[in-house]
Amino acid sequence: MATQHSRSAARIMMAPAVILLLGWMLVPLTMTVLFSFKKYLPLRGGDLGWVGFDNYIRFFSSSAFWPSVQVTLVIVGGVLAITVVFGVLLALLLDQPMWGQGIVRILVIAPFFVMPTVSALVWKNMFMDPVNGLFAHLWKFFGAEPLSWLSEASMQSIILIVSWQWLPFATLILLTAIQSLDSEQLEASEMDGASPLARFIYIILPHLGRAITVVVLIQTIFLLSIFAEIYVTTQGAFGTRTLTYLIFQRVLESQNVGLGSAGGVYAIILANIVAAFLMRIVGKNLDS
Amino acid sequence: MGRITLDKVTKSFGTAQVIPPLDLTIEDGEFTVFVGPSGCGKSTLLRLIAGLEDVSSGQIRIDGEDATMTPPAKRGLSMVFQSYALYPHMSVRKNIAFPMRMAKMPQEEQDRRIEAAAKALNLTDYLERRPGQLSGGQRQRVAIGRAIVREPSAFLFDEPLSNLDAALRVGMRMEISELHKKLATTMIYVTHDQVEAMTMADKIVVLRAGYVEQVGSPLDLYRAPRNLFVAGFIGSPKMNFIEGPEAAKYDAHTIGVRPEHISISADEGPWSGVVGVSEHLGSDTFFHIHDTGLAETITVRADGEVSFHHGDRVHLTPRTDVIHRFDTAGLRINQ
Amino acid sequence: MARSITQRRKAINTAAAWAVGLLIFFPILWTILTSFKTEAQAINDPPLFLFFDWTLENYAVVQERSDYMRFLWNSIIVAGGSTILGIIIAVPAAWSMAFVPSNRTKDILLWMLSTKMLPAVGVLYPIYLIFIRLGLLDSRIGLVVVLMLINLPIIIWMLYTYFKEIPGEILEAARMDGATLKEEILYVLTPMAVPGIASTLLLNIILAWNEAFWTLNLTAAKAAPLTAFIASYSSPEGLFYAKLSAASTMAIAPILILGWFSQKQLVRGLTFGAVK
């Protein structure tokens, strides 16, 4: 349905969105790239001139850089693994006939509605506090010594908090996908003598491929830039400084915009590597 | 008025040319059917006329005026889509009113036309319903209602009956023919079903791969197909084609004999073979005869009461006066 | 599957699902319960579950101390405004991509989505500078624009997937019926896409409501929404569990209530239109 007329109309109607996003992407990006080649200390003299690749070298060779990349990837990977695995299991459970399915579904989605600052605060104080937190009570109840979770098991704790926030999303998408599976397919495989496990591996799991892709894509987009959870809990201490947080500290806490911008460019490169990788998979999966 | 002329019209999608240069005139008030196998370009051709696609080159004239660049709404044509394309969120009344509302027609006039259309199409009791609450046939009628209230200069139908079951299809076929007689407006109708083409058309345009194979009245096409493709496409069951020495007897590369032009008997006739499958329709019986030495199978149409069994040896007699002769290029050789 | 499931199996399923559901919901439940306790009861050992002196005092204190209503109002304006603005810009774009696709459509769509991957922190300072220059720092309008931009790709993406489900023939019919492009979108496409638009709207209100990078970094006192309100409880007050819980409950309640009332559209929206 494409006439010349409708094609030019389409171009005009796309224009606002494209121009806005292009501007949103290019203007700040250009500024970041410019700053990254400068010694720029807003509180200590402002723009102190060009310094070439100094910032890049300093940021890259700082002892904080590689750990922060690693922390970022571990958080993203850990949360993805947990939410996908438990999401599939939970979706299979919720797909079974039961009483009060609607209410259970509401209970399961609820964490998605909770803003990150709230969930981080609640987990930090009311669950993970080594004295008054519920975990501490639970540990004591079983005769164990309560941990100071956010300092002694900081990464696990952060991954737990973020997974709790994203599990509902994964579960819901996977549940929707399972429900769209043609029941005749399952019946046919049953007639063919497939055991429940075989049915899961050969019929259900392949059917979920596209949904899992969507979960991974969307969660990665959001997880790469998680901020509030760390800002509120550890402030980047105890080995939880993500690349995002490191840059945030350079820009806002040390007020070293040049250095932070170089870090920003690294972050953008990292995001692009992940994005290119994801887009390839997604593009393929969305063709169907 | 609705005289539509296509002048060297072509259409390409990217590098693929789906319509090679094509000339065609559809006279005012004529019921024209575009027929051909799927992918022959018949729907594209209709959409070019509708203005839903741009022509790549050439000219489309409606009543002598160049409409090549006119947007669909301004061409004064109505279209009935294969899926009916009813607006699901509007009642039947609002669906039918939509084109008039777009044309900002006065309300009284709209109401008058809706009533008239609803009466003509037996929709009066359903005006307040939503399309989702209607049967396939009723939806079809709503789509037609929406098309007629505009009083277009021509109607375009894009395989409108293909989503209906067999019985309804026959009924709707008659209704559309009836409508054409009553309105005497130009209608262009696209179908892949040659029965629809034969029963409804004043003029049939047979298309293959974008090329017009033949244009003519149903009986012209039946009696004098211009080539093997048209001969095979028009008529049901399909015409039998025989090559080789038997064809040579008629000075042709291929001869074609329609199943209804062969008589079958137990003991006499120039051709003979063995009965394979026989299909008993009650009124007629179709025999598929093997081992004739002429072609893979020869299909014969006989009276419903004639009965042979699987494996019986039978003799066939073609009516020599209606044998179609074709040359090596597959073109008809006239008598 | 058309088969009778034994009551026993159904009971086991029910028990398992409810147990998991309650476990996942528990942190929220616990927060809500704690918000009704006194500070002393909130840190009681062993923890009190239901049997304590229910009180509303914490809510009064939080409202008085932090002016909850102002933050709430900011959240509503910012989340609602950015979503509505986003939809106004996204509907035409999604129409174009869904109904007049070209061979670049998919690339554009993926490019748009990839702008979402741009790490916000990488452009924080430039945006900060631009905001100062334009006088938008700590203003609701500035926040509306930024949140609209960060969610625009998702809004377009979702609308695109919903629009794709609408048969093109219906829009062509409208065109044949004499509808202009504006009328086609207004009278035919939009009404047909209402469920999809509603889902998109809801999901994006939630995303904008919970957004906690730009809202924390671009606001101070005037335009700060609830994310900032709650972040202010992170240090000393954080030790007062009951007040922290009351503040948390107040911050998430509007979205929880909205979410529960519109569950059906939301569930559809939560899948970002990507899974049927």
> Which token pair is C128?
């900060």
| Number of C-beta neighbours around residue C110 at 10 A | 18
In a domain, B335, yes or no: no
C contact test, residue of A30, A115, A150, A217 with most C CBs within 10 A: A115
* CATH code, domain carrying B266: 2.40.50.140
pLDDT given at position B145: 92
Chains that touch C (3 or more CB pairs under 8 A): A, B
Q: Which of A203, A198, A242 is nearest to A223 (CA)?
A: A242
Residues 1-20 of C with CB under 8 A from A: 1, 5, 10, 13-14, 16-18, 20
Judged against a pLDDT cut of 50, whether residue A288 lies above it is answered with: no
Q: Which of B144, B201, B136 is nearest to B169 (CA)?
A: B136
Chain C hits for A183, Cβ within 8 Å: 1
Question: Touching check for B51 and chain A: CB below 8 Å?
Answer: yes
Domain count of chain B? 2
Chain A hits for C46, Cβ within 8 Å: 137, 141
* CATH code, domain carrying A177: 1.10.3720.10
In a domain, A177, yes or no: yes
Residue A265's closest chain C neighbor by CA? Answer: C122
In a domain, B123, yes or no: yes
In a domain, B276, yes or no: yes
Taking every pair of C-alpha atoms in chain C, what is the biggest distance, in angstroms? 74
Judgement on whether residues B151 and B220 belong to the same structural domain of the protein: yes
Boundary residue ending a domain (B231, B264, B292):
B231
Nearest to C178 among B87, B88, B99 (CB): B99
Question: Touching check for C100 and chain B: CB below 8 Å?
Answer: no
How distant is the Cα of A195 from the closest Cα of chain B, in angstroms?
A: 40
Question: Touching check for C170 and chain B: CB below 8 Å?
Answer: yes
> Which token pair is C187?
């009278």
How distant is the Cα of A6 from the closest Cα of chain B, in angstroms?
A: 9
Are the beta carbons of B73 and C167 separated by less than 8 Å? no
pLDDT given at position C60: 85
Q: What is the mean pLDDT of chain A?
A: 84
In a domain, B20, yes or no: yes
Return the C-alpha torsion angle A264, A269, A271, A277, nearest 10. Answer: 180
Nearest to A2 among C16, C100, C121 (CB): C100
Q: Tens digits of per-residue pLDDT, A6-24?
A: 888 888 888 899 999 999 8
Q: How far, rounded to the nearest angstrom, does the alpha carbon of residue B191 sit from its chain's CA centroid? A: 4
Boundary residue ending a domain (B180, B213, B231):
B231
Boundary residue ending a domain (B231, B253, B287):
B231
Judgement on whether residues B89 and B191 belong to the same structural domain of the protein: yes
3-class DSSP state of B276: strand
In a domain, A94, yes or no: yes
Backbone angles phi, psi at B191, to 5 degrees: -155, 160
Judged against a pLDDT cut of 60, whether residue B300 lies above it is answered with: yes
Instruction: Judge contact between C210 and A115, C-beta under 8 A.
Output: yes
In a domain, B122, yes or no: yes
pLDDT given at position A1: 46
Judgement on whether residues B221 and B242 belong to the same structural domain of the protein: no
Q: Whose structure tokens read 């006039």?
A: B109
pLDDT in tens, chain C (276 residues): 445 567 888 888 889 999 999 999 999 999 998 888 887 777 777 777 777 778 888 888 888 877 888 888 999 999 999 999 999 999 999 999 988 888 888 888 888 887 877 778 888 888 888 888 888 888 889 999 999 998 999 899 888 888 888 888 899 999 888 888 888 888 999 899 888 888 888 888 988 988 888 888 888 878 888 888 887 777 654 568 888 888 889 888 888 888 877 777 777 766 665 555
In a domain, B333, yes or no: no
| Number of C-beta neighbours around residue B287 at 10 A | 26
pLDDT given at position B136: 87
Superfamily of domain C64-270: MetI-like (1.10.3720.10)
Q: Can you give the residue range of the structural domain that contains B310? A: 237-326
From the number of C-beta atoms within 10 Å of its C-beta (0-12, 13-18, 19+), residue C106 rates as: middle
Judged against a pLDDT cut of 70, whether residue A190 lies above it is answered with: yes
Chain A hits for B51, Cβ within 8 Å: 3
How distant is the Cα of A274 from the closest Cα of chain C, in angstroms?
A: 9
Residue B55's closest chain A neighbor by CA? Answer: A3
Chain B hits for C172, Cβ within 8 Å: 50, 52, 72, 79, 81, 85
Q: Tens digits of per-residue pLDDT, C89-100?
A: 999 999 999 888
Domain boundaries, chain C: 7-57, 64-270
pLDDT given at position A36: 85
Q: Which of A165, A15, A17 is nearest to C148 (CA)?
A: A17
From the number of C-beta atoms within 10 Å of its C-beta (0-12, 13-18, 19+), residue C46 rates as: exposed
Q: Can you give the residue range of the structural domain that contains A191? A: 65-240
**Average pLDDT of the segment spanning A35-59:** 80
In a domain, A281, yes or no: no
> Which token pair is B263?
């008589």
Judged against a pLDDT cut of 70, whether residue B253 lies above it is answered with: yes
Judgement on whether residues B57 and B119 belong to the same structural domain of the protein: yes
> Which token pair is A198?
């075989």
pLDDT given at position C5: 62
- Measured CA to CA, the distance from residue B169 to residue B186 in angstroms comes to 21
A contact test, residue of B12, B53, B70, B74 with most A CBs within 10 A: B53
Q: Which amino acid is at C139?
A: S
Domain count of chain A? 1
Which of A28-37, A98-107, A132-141, B148-157 has the lowest average pLDDT? A132-141
Judgement on whether residues B73 and B128 belong to the same structural domain of the protein: yes
In a domain, B334, yes or no: no
Q: Tens digits of per-residue pLDDT, B315-326?
A: 999 998 899 999
Whole-structure pTM value: 0.82
Are the beta carbons of A28 and C209 separated by less than 8 Å? no
In a domain, B132, yes or no: yes
Judged against a pLDDT cut of 90, whether residue A167 lies above it is answered with: yes
pLDDT given at position C272: 61
Instruction: Judge contact between A262 and A58, C-beta under 8 A.
Output: yes
Long-range contacts of C32-39 (CB under 8 A, 24+ apart): C32/C245, C32/C249, C33/C245, C34/A126, C34/C241, C34/C242, C34/C245, C35/C59, C35/C242, C35/C245, C35/C246, C35/C248, C35/C249, C36/C242, C37/C241, C37/C242, C37/C245, C38/C242, C39/C240, C39/C241, C39/C242, C39/C243
Are the beta carbons of B52 and C175 separated by less than 8 Å? yes
Are the beta carbons of C169 and B73 separated by less than 8 Å? no
3-class DSSP state of A278: helix
Nearest to A6 among C14, C100, C206 (CB): C100
Chain B hits for A3, Cβ within 8 Å: 51-54, 71
In a domain, A45, yes or no: no
How distant is the Cα of C158 from the closest Cα of chain A, in angstroms?
A: 12
* CATH code, domain carrying B103: 3.40.50.300
